[in-house]
Structure 1
Amino acid sequence: MDELVNKLAGMGVSGLVLVGLVATSSYAGAVAITTSLALLGGPFGMLGGVVVLTLIASVSSMIAKVGVETFAKAVVKKLMDNGASTSSIIQEISNFPMITEGLKAQLREYVRQM
């Protein structure tokens, strides 16, 4: 069990995603892993699931390196560069459920200053 935990810890966020999918699967053992990867991979099956886990790992690693705030500001700047209005961006920030109120306030201020 400890060896499995160490390997999953090395995988980081993608390991947590896989554990969550396996835990919610109605199967056990290798079948649970296989079906979880196939579910994650969508029409591309298990191989697609492996690719998605790899992408999750690389994106989460990048976010960890630059910081969530810097990453979020870069996304907001790209939205503005693409022509989104200030009010629509502020509304999106306010409605986004997965970030803290503190970060929402920082992002709204960032949008107003641009």
Structure 2
Amino acid sequence: MNPFLQLEKHQTRFRQLMREMNIQMSFQAYVAFVHPEFTLYGAAPRPDLLLPTVLPNHLRELDKMHERLTNYQEKVMKRLFETTLPETPHENIPKYTFESLEKGIFCAQ
């Protein structure tokens, strides 16, 4: 699935949650690829795309621009941490062990 479509979907859900909780606050969302050997070929530059090579600088910039949280921000953070969201299908991953998996190459014929 396209990570930017996922980002858009989750931004919409988060805005809805904030509206339901009467929280007035802006936020920025990004697609971040963190694996140091990841390469994305042919992608147009996007301000919401963070590749491994720009992550350290991006995090340093975030550190510089933010000061101590206000009381309001701390209350919002606490309320968000206490909120339980419905499970997504990706959280229902079956339990398994490596040993229980069938090994080998499989052919559909």
Same fold (TM over 0.5): no
Q: TM-score range by the shorter chain?
A: under 0.3
Greater gyration radius = 2
Q: Which has the higher helix share?
A: 1
TM-score (norm 1): 0.23
